[in-house]
Amino acid sequence: MIVFSGMLLFAIWIAYNIVVIQFVEGDKWRKMSEDFTIKEDDIEPIRGNIFDCKGNLLATSIPIYDIYIDAKTQGFVNSDTFQLYVDSLAINVANLFKDKSIDSYKQQLTKIKLAGSRYTLFKSKLSYRQMKAMRGFPIFRKGKNKGGFIAVPKSKREKPFDLLAERTLGFSRYGVAPVGLEGAFDTILKGKSGKQVLQRIAGNSWIPIDDESVIDAQQGKDLITTIDINLQDVAEHALMKTLVENDAEYGTAILMEVNTGELKAIANLTRISPGVYAERYNYAVGEKVAPGSTMKLISMMALLNDGYTTPKDNVDVEGGVKTFCRATMQDSHLGNNLIDMQYAFEHSSNVAFAKQINHYYAKNPHQLYDFYKSLGLTKPLSLQVEGAGIPDVKSPDNKRWSCTSLPWMAIGYELEFTPLQLLTIYNAVANNGVMVNPLLVKRIEQEGRVIETFSTKVLNKQICKPEVVKQLQCMLEGVVLRGTASELRSDHYSYAGKTGTAVIDKNSALNVAGIKAYRASFCGYFPAENPKYSCLVVISRPRKDNYYASKVALPVFKEIADKVYASALSLHQELKFAMKNSTQDLPIIPKADKEQIQTILNKVSLSSHFHNDSIHQEETDWVAGLPQDKSLALAPIKMEGAGVPNVVGMGVRDAVYLLEKKGLNVIVIGVGKVKRQSIAPGTNSKKYKSIQIELS
């Protein structure tokens, strides 16, 4: 009875606790159970795309998949089924990935079966094509519930054009300062996370539960940028070529549309090792540097705007050497005495600008500083990306101000601002005095719908007097026509700009002992008569003999401008047909392929006739076109013979074809048509291995 009574009381106690746990404390224990076995997790949204101005993908998110195996399903639990298909499954997987042997995969699958886990990682970061192929393999083709095949989607950021505009596109990473467009527009690009329910299973793994309460993620919005990937490619290749040739430390090139401020290309390359460069920092946006002689445009603008001088006013440069407060300033290649300001600007006289600025502003330096402020040089640009460099322009009230500040600031020293700030001012001169803010993103879209539009923002409606703008435009053209940039002026279009060669610190470990380090730059715009694009090139610390801007930075500007001009039909003058008794608008064809010329003339509806009927009998593929009335007369040119052909006047393609046909290795210098050939026409070609042709 005692034992029975004890057992009865124990049973009653158990029943009582069951009731309490189930009905009184049920919610508490159910919640605790869920906390241990069920949790809510975020579903990452697909990040928005970034496009260039023509709809080319610059950055996109592609789906990738992690493959898990549920070994509790029929395909793995049933030993007969598993043994029947495991060899075929291992063969298929090995053939798809080609990273391990068939036996290795068979052992891995067998190990997963024996472990009996419901959520074992089998493969990670697969493409959609790979995932789809695996889903059709033996056992796996039975699906998730019978074949144990679980594909968990994720996303991976891809840049279809690889390293092009890498720093401008940037990245967004946890714990790292935002970089480029990915960082600045992170909230817009990343979208909104969804929610899903996960359940804990044996082995402390969590698997998703199919639940109607799942909240889908909202895809991120897309950015439509101002970048033109083709022009970006041109800028990066031109910059890379010069950096490698001169073994420079770094370089940047920026191409901007004059009227809108839209940035079409931003190239930034840093030296990793000899001949190897990569994008590591956005110098265009974040690097504040002493502008050197490109600052003389701003100095000239101040002098003209305040009425202190004119382009024709003379200044004594004292043989190109002048001392200010015991500090000596020199002109690099001027030994004159009395020159006018136009000549001083075109040939970049340091002494002329230092004397003029010091003479007119010494009594009231705040006047010049206030002019700098009006141009926005004392504060950073407001950009659509993070990291805009903070300029360092000394005020006369600053403790660092000295008696050398004015003359040295006049020629681009003792002050620093970013390359993009300098380009913004040159762009304003090209834009007839209207300063616009650089623009990088044009629109935000979602599934083709425009969410937000960014338009051109005017920073200053008139940076100086209109007549001063015209004078500055003429002076910038003079630099190219007669001054420091005349060596690379173009015969096909006009451009304007200013060279700058700045001496930088001697204390850097990058400098060779006893040798100065230089930063070369060229800033300008094209075409000069109707500016469409402005461009700035900066090359820092070239290690070779050439360090002047005209030898280092200007060729990059020229190559970018040449290729932009060649590809932009809007920059070309319309082909006009000659009026009666006039041939001035008809094209002149020195030498060209007969069939190609005939095809082009037919395409533009320009009539032509053969100079005489003998051209049909003469076996020649080459003709010259001469204007006659409203048509072109095509005359045959004989190019055969043992001697070197005369290719002067030809396009490079035809010239190279003919010369290589003679067994010569052709060295091409310049762009355009052949102006000169190193071996005289008619010379026996067998005596030479190579020939040099100069284009213009």
pLDDT of residue 615: 43
Higher pLDDT, 657 or 459: 459
Range of the domain at 502: 231-570
Contact yes or no for 97/129 (Cβ under 8 A): no
Pairing, β 690-695 against β 665-669: parallel
| Cα angle: 28, vertex 29, 31; to 5 degrees | 70
Pairing, β 533-540 against β 250-257: antiparallel
- Name the band, by pLDDT with cuts 50, 70 and 90, for residue 153: confident
- Name the band, by pLDDT with cuts 50, 70 and 90, for residue 45: confident
pLDDT of residue 294: 96
pLDDT of residue 619: 57
Q: Are residues 564 and 491 in the same domain?
A: yes
pLDDT of residue 510: 38
Go through 384-395 and write b for each residue having 16 or more CB atoms within 10 A of its CB, e for each that does not.
Answer: bbbbbbebbbbb
Q: What is the pTM of this model?
A: 0.71
Q: Is residue 583 part of a domain?
A: no
User: Region 523-536: what's the mean pLDDT?
Assistant: 94
Q: For residues 415 and 368, give the distance between their C-alpha atoms in angstroms, rounded to a whole number.
A: 13
**pLDDT(427) > 80:** yes
User: Region 32-54: what's the mean pLDDT?
Assistant: 76
Q: Is residue 578 part of a domain?
A: no
Residue 179 CB coordination number (10 Å): 22
pLDDT of residue 366: 96
Higher pLDDT, 41 or 87: 87
**pLDDT(114) > 80:** yes
pLDDT of residue 622: 76
Q: Are residues 562 and 594 in the same domain?
A: no
Q: Is residue 470 part of a domain?
A: yes
Number of C-alpha atoms within 13 angstroms, CB side, residue 475? 30
User: DSSP secondary-structure letter at 20?
Assistant: I
Q: Is residue 132 part of a domain?
A: yes
User: Region 221-246: what's the mean pLDDT?
Assistant: 94
Q: Are residues 273 and 338 in the same domain?
A: yes
Q: Are residues 399 and 505 in the same domain?
A: yes
**pLDDT(578) > 50:** no
Higher pLDDT, 231 or 668: 231
Q: Is residue 580 part of a domain?
A: no
Q: pLDDT digits over 252-287, tens only?
A: 999 999 999 999 999 999 999 999 999 989 999 999
- Name the band, by pLDDT with cuts 50, 70 and 90, for residue 23: confident
Q: Are residues 283 and 412 in the same domain?
A: yes
The CATH number of whichever domain residue 655 belongs to comes to 3.30.10.20
Residues 6+ apart with CB under 8 A from 33: none
451 SS3 class = strand
Residues 6+ apart with CB under 8 A from 484: 346, 347, 348, 499, 548, 549, 550
Higher pLDDT, 388 or 632: 388
User: Region 622-639: what's the mean pLDDT?
Assistant: 69
User: Region 494-512: what's the mean pLDDT?
Assistant: 71
Q: How many domains would you assign to the chain?
A: 5
522 SS3 class = strand
42 SS3 class = strand
Phi-psi region of 203 (alpha: psi -120 to 50; beta: other; left: phi over 0): left
Contacts of the segment 370-373: beta carbons below 8 A, 24+ positions apart = 371/301, 371/302, 371/305, 371/306, 372/298
- Name the band, by pLDDT with cuts 50, 70 and 90, for residue 350: very high
| Cα angle: 428, vertex 283, 525; to 5 degrees | 30
**pLDDT(487) > 50:** yes
pLDDT of residue 108: 93
Name the helix (H) or strand (E) containing 502: strand 496-504
Q: Is residue 577 part of a domain?
A: no
Average pLDDT score over the chain: 85
Q: Please state the φ and ψ torsions of residue 12, each to the nearest 5 degrees.
A: -65, -40
Q: Are residues 67 and 215 in the same domain?
A: yes
**pLDDT(600) > 90:** no
Torsion sign (Cα): 674, 678, 680, 681: negative
Residue 185, Cα to own-chain centre: how many angstroms?
18
- Name the band, by pLDDT with cuts 50, 70 and 90, for residue 516: confident
Percent residues over pLDDT 70 in the chain = 86
Q: Are residues 525 and 671 in the same domain?
A: no
User: Region 183-212: what's the mean pLDDT?
Assistant: 74
Q: For residues 673 and 658, give the distance between their C-alpha atoms in angstroms, rounded to a whole number.
A: 14
Q: Are residues 159 and 299 in the same domain?
A: no
Q: For residues 244 and 246, give the distance between their C-alpha atoms in angstroms, rounded to a whole number.
A: 5
The CATH number of whichever domain residue 309 belongs to comes to 3.40.710.10
Q: Are residues 565 and 683 in the same domain?
A: no
pLDDT of residue 333: 67
Least confident of 71-85, 183-197, 257-271, 667-681: 667-681
Q: Which of 542, 570, 598 finishes a domain?
A: 570
Over its C-alpha atoms, the chain yields an Rg (Å, rounded) of 36
Q: Are residues 22 and 133 in the same domain?
A: no
User: Region 110-121: what's the mean pLDDT?
Assistant: 89
Q: Is residue 462 part of a domain?
A: yes
pLDDT of residue 354: 95
First to last CA, the chain: 121
Torsion sign (Cα): 89, 91, 95, 99: positive
- Name the band, by pLDDT with cuts 50, 70 and 90, for residue 620: low
Q: Which of 570, 602, 617 finishes a domain?
A: 570
Q: Are residues 643 and 595 in the same domain?
A: no
Torsion sign (Cα): 200, 205, 210, 214: positive
Summarize the chain as % helix, strand, coil (round to 5): 35, 25, 35
Q: Is residue 623 part of a domain?
A: yes
**pLDDT(468) > 90:** yes
Q: For residues 537 and 238, give the distance between their C-alpha atoms in angstroms, rounded to a whole number.
A: 10
Q: Are residues 603 and 690 in the same domain?
A: no
Q: Which two tokens stand for residue 403?
A: 């008696």
Percent residues over pLDDT 90 in the chain = 52
Pairing, β 50-51 against β 222-225: parallel
**pLDDT(220) > 80:** yes
Report whether the peptide linkage leading into residue 681 is cis, meaning its omega lies within 30 degrees of zero: no
Rounded alpha-carbon distances, angstroms, from residue 272 to 217, 276, 277, 408: 41, 6, 5, 33
User: Region 317-330: what's the mean pLDDT?
Assistant: 90
**pLDDT(536) > 90:** yes
Q: Which of 188, 222, 256 finishes a domain?
A: 222
Residues 6+ apart with CB under 8 A from 553: 242, 499, 500, 520, 521, 522, 537, 538, 539
